[in-house]
Structure formats: C-alpha cells, structure tokens
C-alpha cells in the first residue's frame, strides 16, 4: 500500500489533475454571483472535472513502469483511482451550486459518472498503448464534445444533454449506457494490461 502512495505522489501530474476542480470552483462562484449563467456554467463544471481526470493516466515513463515487478496493470489501476479525485471534486462542486438552479443532483451525478467513465476508458486505452501524454488531447476532445451540444442547442433550439433542470428518460438512459460502457471498457483494458 505504501508503494501505491509513493507512486501516485510522484507519478501523477497533480497540478493538471487539480486544475479542473480549481477552475470549476471559480465557475461555481460565478453561478452564486450571476444566477443567469447556470445553464452554461454547470455543464462546464461537469465537463472540466471529467476532462481533468484524463491527465491522471498520462505516464511519461511508460517504458519504465511496464517492466517493473508490479507491472502495467498495477500502475494503470493506481492511476485510474487517482482519476476519481477530480471527478469527486466535480461532484462536490455541483453539490455546492445553488439547489434552485442546479435541479436534481442525481441527474448531475449520473452525467458526471458517464463523462468520467468515458474519459477513463479513453485514457486507459491510450495508456495501454503506451502513449505517454494523451491526457491533454483527451481533455481537449472532452471539452469540445461536451460544449458543442450547448452551442448547437442555442443555435438550433435543441435541448442539451445536461440536466437543465432535469434529464429526460432518454437522456438518463444515454448517460447510464455511457457509464456502464466506460466502466466495462476500462475493466477490459485493465485485464488486458496484465502480465503476459
């Protein structure tokens, strides 16, 4: 257990990992000041928290960790656990938003879980293939894909896939499938990363 803490303390880019929740906290403060921004800011908090989780799976020294006695599966699992930190912080920030503007918290948690599971699956896929710094690309793709429905929703008068104020049954099913698919894909990648 001590080795896991040592590895996580030194190997995970904590500054990048905690940058998303830091930005999210500033955004939640904006919502407390200007309530009219809630429709844009609360989805952005969820997207930024999920994007920050992608940095947990960056492994600059992938060639070294793959040949250690503990192996790649141990390193990837430890990093996947570290990815839960910005996701948990994002959930706490959504909880800190005004309840009258936030809507149903369980819908936000399901949305964040779906986003986080997909990011985790993408990050583990890059880590298994030994891409040392894919977190930045994954985070950028998550932010772009997460904000595109908001922009298109305004331009085309469409409902966004976020709980504003609550998810429809179809969107709830979509985020549930995203969560289950991301978790199943991540588990498969962790098993495949084991010793050969």
Q: What is the pLDDT of residues 134-186, one digit of tens each?
A: 888 999 999 999 989 888 877 887 788 888 778 888 999 999 999 999 999 98
| Best mean pLDDT range from 68-72, 99-103, 115-119 | 115-119
Q: Is the pLDDT score of 190 beyond 60? A: yes
| 3-state SS assignment for residue 20 | helix
Using the 8-state DSSP alphabet, how is residue 58 labeled? -
Q: What percent of the chain has pLDDT over 90?
A: 33
Q: Is the pLDDT score of 101 beyond 70? A: yes
Distance from chain centroid for Cα 184:
16
Q: How many domains does the chain have?
A: 1
- What tokens appear for 55 in the block? 């940095």
Q: Is the pLDDT score of 196 beyond 50? A: no
Question: What pLDDT is attached to residue 99?
Answer: 79
Question: What pLDDT is attached to residue 195?
Answer: 55
Question: What pLDDT is attached to residue 144?
Answer: 93
| 3-state SS assignment for residue 68 | coil
Q: Are the C-beta atoms of residues 164 and 100 closer than 8 Å to each other? A: no
CA distance 79 to 59: 9
Q: Which of 130, 131, 129, 112 is nearest to 182 (CA)?
A: 112
Ramachandran quadrant class, 71 (left: phi over 0; alpha: psi -120 to 50; beta: rest):
left
pLDDT-based confidence at residue 120 (cuts at 50, 70, 90): very high
Contact partners, residue 117, CB within 8 Å, separation at least 6: 178, 179, 180, 181, 182, 183, 186
- What number of helices (H) and strands (E) belong to the chain? 10, 0
The average confidence (pLDDT) of the chain is 84
- Full residue range of the structural domain in which residue 16 is found: 2-192
């Amino acid at each position: 257990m001590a080795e896991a803490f040592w590895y996580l303390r030194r190997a995970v880019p904590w500054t990048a990992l905690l940058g998303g929740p830091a930005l999210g906290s500033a955004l939640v403060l904006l919502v407390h000041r200007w309530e009219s921004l809630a429709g844009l800011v609360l989805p952005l908090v969820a997207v930024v928290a999920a994007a920050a989780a992608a940095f947990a799976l960056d492994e600059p020294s992938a060639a070294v960790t793959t040949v250690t006695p503990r192996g790649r599966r141990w390193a990837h699992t430890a990093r996947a656990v570290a990815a839960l930190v910005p996701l948990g912080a994002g959930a706490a920030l959504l909880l800190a938003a005004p309840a009258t503007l936030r809507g149903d918290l369980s819908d936000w948690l399901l949305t964040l879980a779906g986003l986080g599971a997909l990011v985790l699956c993408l990050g583990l896929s890059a880590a298994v293939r030994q891409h040392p710094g894919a977190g930045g690309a994954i985070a950028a793709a998550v932010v772009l894909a997460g904000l595109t429905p908001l922009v298109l929703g305004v331009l085309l008068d469409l409902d966004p896939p976020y709980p504003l104020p609550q998810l429809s049954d179809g969107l709830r099913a979509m985020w549930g499938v995203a969560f289950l698919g991301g978790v199943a894909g991540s588990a498969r990648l962790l098993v495949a990363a084991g010793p050969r």
